[in-house]
């Protein structure tokens, strides 16, 4: 059997590495996971759900949608939950794009955008971002009647940059009305900028805009795969028609409800990130490396390709010292590594290894 057009053009997504051979102690700083783990209440809710493993989950994730509505002031009827936000990002091109249609995304954006476009036999269009920030003007110049979806990660992984609320409003206003703007706000909970808006306001005030979020980052539930989207009633209805009927497991729903209700744990996770993101930025920059500003829970470190201190050599050296970062050549950034904010011990180990490498 021959797959439909686009499938064999996909390079499979490869997640952050988890093992460093030969190291006695390993610090995994490659996947932007929460170094604090989930709320203790989420762990207890997960355990309690084991009593009903023989039963199918509540198919609409009603309790979780209500909890999200309470937390963010949203109408639960305009929320849909997914097996991670990845599932929802994949479903949107299947619903709204056909062969010959175009899907736009930023050159250094999440790799899943291109995969999702090709899986729907649509044409992926990568827009350069010379300033390492999504280029709103370039997207508007390229958009056409064939453009059905624009994916925009805000903040963006792996660059750590973001677009302002005013920039997103200008993008939405300039796109064709038939084009769906997808704001991937996976890292929104970490952002502390007055000119940033996660997408909630834009969804509420404009047509054909949807925001996706995840429980994999600040809530520390990456292994449970819980994501959600807030969008127009018509878009949410379309997603509900094609998603899996039991796509979010009972333990995942229970843990996510408990996680979002534990405001103190979320605040602690954000404070930890703010403290150590600043510390890592300063200490890594002091080694002579270029550290790009970030509003997420990670930093992008740039190495000089003309020296003997390349990103590839640094990656190998760090691995030998049990520090696992993320190579991001697949994102078009071969001279860079990405480091996630970790525990205090992990952060200090990473800096010590980088200092030794750069000495």
Domains, in order of start, for the chain: 7-37+264-358 (3.90.1150.10), 51-262 (3.40.640.10)
Sign of the torsion formed by the C-alpha atoms of 250, 256, 261 and 264: positive
Helix ranges, 286-328 (H)? 311-320
Q: At what angle do helices 84-96 and 233-242 cross, to 10 degrees?
A: 100
Q: How far apart are CA 100 and CA 90, in angstroms?
A: 17
Cβ–Cβ contacts within 10 Å for residue 284, how many? 20
Determine the pLDDT at residue 21: 65
- Nearest Cα residue to 338 out of 307, 289, 301, 312: 301
Q: How far apart are CA 284 and CA 318, in angstroms?
A: 14
In terms of Cβ atoms closer than 10 Å to its own Cβ (0-12, 13-18, 19+), residue 97 is buried
What is the full DSSP assignment across 189-258? Answer: GG---TT---SHHHHHHSSSEEEEEESSSTT--GGG-EEEEE--HHHHHHHHHHS-TT-S-HHHHHHHHH
Determine the pLDDT at residue 6: 78
**Block mean pLDDT (10 aa), the chain, length 359:** 79 69 82 97 97 96 98 98 97 96 97 95 96 96 97 97 97 96 98 96 95 98 98 97 96 98 98 98 97 98 90 94 95 96 98 96
Q: How far apart are CA 202 and CA 210, in angstroms?
A: 8
Helix ranges, 21-145 (H)? 40-48, 62-72, 84-96, 112-119, 136-142
Determine the pLDDT at residue 25: 85
- Looking at the chain, the number of H-run helices and the number of E-run strands are 12, 13
Compute and round to an integer the Cα radius of gyration of the chain: 20
- Nearest Cα residue to 91 out of 72, 117, 70, 66: 117
Structure tokens at 359: 């000495």
3-state secondary structure of 308: coil
Determine the pLDDT at residue 3: 82
Q: Is the pTM of this model over 0.85?
A: yes
Q: How far apart are CA 17 and CA 326, in angstroms?
A: 7
Determine the pLDDT at residue 16: 67
């Amino acid at each position: 059997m021959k797959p439909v057009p686009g499938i064999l053009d996909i390079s499979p997504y490869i997640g952050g590495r988890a093992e460093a051979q030969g190291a006695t102690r390993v610090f995994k700083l490659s996947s932007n996971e929460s170094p604090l783990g989930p709320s203790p209440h989420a762990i207890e809710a997960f355990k309690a759900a084991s009593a009903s493993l023989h039963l199918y989950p509540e198919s609409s994730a009603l309790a979780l949608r209500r909890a999200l509505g309470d937390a963010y002031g949203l109408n639960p009827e305009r929320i849909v939950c997914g097996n991670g936000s990845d599932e929802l990002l994949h479903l949107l091109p299947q619903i709204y794009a056909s062969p010959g249609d175009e899907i736009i995304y930023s050159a250094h954006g999440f790799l899943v955008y291109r995969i999702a476009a090709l899986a729907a036999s649509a044409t992926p269009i990568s827009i350069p971002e010379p300033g390492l920030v999504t280029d709103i003007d370039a997207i508007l110049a390229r958009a056409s009647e064939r453009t059905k979806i624009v994916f925009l990660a805000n903040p963006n992984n792996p660059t750590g940059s973001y677009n302002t609320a005013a920039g997103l409003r200008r993008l939405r206003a300039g796109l064709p009305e038939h084009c769906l703007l997808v704001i991937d706000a996976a890292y929104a909970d970490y952002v502390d900028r007055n000119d940033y808006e996660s997408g909630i306001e834009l969804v509420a005030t404009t047509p054909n805009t949807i925001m996706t979020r995840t429980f994999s980052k600040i809530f520390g539930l990456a292994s449970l795969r819980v994501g959600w989207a807030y969008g127009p009633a018509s878009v949410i209805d379309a997603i509900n028609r094609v998603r899996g009927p039991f796509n979010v497991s009972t333990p995942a729903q229970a843990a996510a409800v408990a996680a979002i209700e534990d405001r103190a744990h979320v605040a602690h996770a954000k404070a930890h990130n703010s403290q150590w993101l600043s510390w890592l930025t300063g200490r890594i920059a002091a080694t002579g490396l270029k550290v790009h500003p970030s509003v997420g829970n990670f930093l992008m470190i740039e190495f000089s390709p003309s020296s003997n201190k390349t990103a590839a050599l640094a990656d190998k050296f760090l691995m030998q010292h049990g520090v696992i970062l993320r190579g991001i050549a697949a994102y078009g950034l071969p001279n860079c590594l990405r480091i996630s904010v970790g525990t205090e011990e992990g952060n200090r180990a990473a800096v010590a290894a980088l200092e030794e490498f750069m000495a």
